[in-house]
Structure formats: structure tokens, C-alpha cells
Amino acid sequence: MLNEKNIYVKKFIPGNLNQWKLYKNNSSSVWIAGDNLDKKYNYLIKKISSYKKINKDLLRTLVQNIDDHFGLVYVTKNWVFAAVDCIRSYPIFWKKSKNTYVFSAQAKNIVNKSMDLIDDSQLIAFRMSGYTIDEGTLWKGVKNLNAGNFIFIDEKNNCFIENYFTYTPWK
């Protein structure tokens, strides 16, 4: 989507994974993966349309109330929200380059193979353990959402990455 005020583009590329379903209405696109997709979509649309001002705290509360496995990318002309469940059942990768935010279910879909370099520190971690560390990936600039986290980009192009779920078995 193009926001004339801030001139930034936001989009989601599902790749060749058939687990993502697109819902569109007049002002937004919602990509959801998981079970009970229609129920989740109706819940989100009903709640979000009842508020005049959308912010990260409201969206955090909404996503905390989803008690199922999911991946979610909600794109409007003014803001973007993406979240993964508490075990990251449906990973979401993202990249910001210049004035563009791109999200995908597969990192290979947002990597520019001729320009993006391998992140050497993540490569070492991957070779030693089979995993990358924190939100990093093998490519510099390409990040992933960790389990129980969300990203919110507002109309001023402010980017917030926060967790909405923390595993605390001792409470």
C-alpha cells in the first residue's frame, strides 16, 4: 500500500505456502494462517472496526485473546500489524529497505540475492547449532518475528516490535 504522506510501501508475500488465506475489505488486507480462519478474521474485523484510533496496545490486547495457533498480517493504508502465536507455528519474516516494509512467510521471498549479504555471525551460530539467534536470519536486514511477538508500523512510519506473550510457568 502507498501512503502519500510518508511514501512507504507495505506488503505481504505468502510464497508457495497454501496455509495462508487472504481476506480483503474496502480498506485492508488480512492474511491469516492457522485453524478457524473465518472465526479469527471475523473477531479481528469486528473489534478493529469498532475503534476510531488503532494503536499497538489495542492490537496487543486483541491478539492476546486469540487462543489458537496462528500467523497474522494486517495491512491497511495507515498501519501494518503482524503477529505470530506463542510457539511461532506460522513464521513471519520481514525486511525494511529504504521506504519499503515487506513481510513474507518465507525469508527467501524477500531476499534480494544480488544485494543482500550473508550475516556472518548468524552463519556461525547456524553452523554450530542449526539455528539463528534472536530475530536474526542468515541474511543481513531480514528479520523474523519471535514466538509471542508482534510488529506494528503506524502512520508515522514508527516501527514497534514487542512481545504479547511470555512463558512464565512459575506464576
pLDDT, one tens digit per residue, over 72-128 is 999 998 899 999 999 999 999 999 887 789 999 999 889 876 677 889 999 999 999
Three cell numbers at 25?
Answer: 475489505
Nearest to 161 by CA among 83, 87, 108: 83
pLDDT in tens, 30-82: 999 998 888 888 888 888 888 888 999 999 999 999 888 999 999 998 899 99
Beta carbons within 8 Å of 34's beta carbon, 6+ residues apart: 19, 40, 68, 69, 70, 71, 85, 89, 90
Contact 34, 125 (CB under 8 A): no
Q: Is the dihedral of CA 106, 143, 28, 77 positive or negative?
A: negative
Cell numbers for 54 = 488503532
The beta-strand segments (E) located in 7-91 are 9-13, 20-25, 28-34, 70-76, 80-84
